[in-house]
Structure 1
């Protein structure tokens, strides 16, 4: 059991940290600007080169031009803070479930009655997500009950619930 004064790890922070380290291609234990940019592209971020540069400036405490293990937490905090600057709902507004369902199904490009990660990514981009790839991944995690990597008609209600819970709406 964790010590009461130490907060439990935030699962989103842990997932982002793991994603960033996946892009340490040369396995030197440091993230270069190019590796950070590649991670941000994977997340579907807008202008990933600029954001990688800003993240590096924000988190590179020793000024060596890389993010080390001791600095990655600051990079993750920056990414989360920046990622919240997207079109979000106020607590008093909600897009209807039917509107969101309609939006998601509009992105079923191959008309197979299932939404894959790329289709979800496009839908979350339409909703204004800064990291639509990350939102698609999380949406699958929340709603893909049978683990097949797709959102079916039976699972779309859970996806809509997740989408409303994190504050998106149809404009």
Structure 2
């Protein structure tokens, strides 16, 4: 997890006038420095999505909170993608057979029984398969 001081440094870099708040135009210019284009309308939408106190600007706390939420959402999406790779059967869960298949693709040869044992370690409800929530527990 990125610590707060990194967020503070990013915020200060964006806060060109040093007023402790990010305006849409400051956000737009900073995004431009990394070679991306952000229209003023888009910058205003981004600021509105971060602005929790309704002042039309983004303070440090709002910025840090938004960055952390964005990071969590990104991690969850990556976890969902990994889960989909392992479940492979469209069943919405990881079965011993699908785990064996994925491990084989990764160069790990395991029997279906060995995969069942692996799944049982994280199978909270005892149904013999891993749901996404159980997979999350395993990954964290």
Query: Under a length normalisation based on structure 1, what TM-score does the superposition of the two structures give?
Result: 0.35
Query: Under a length normalisation based on structure 2, what TM-score does the superposition of the two structures give?
Result: 0.41
Name which one, 1 or 2, has greater alpha-carbon Rg.
2
Structure with greater helix share of residues: 2
Higher relative contact order (CA 8 A, sep 6+): 1
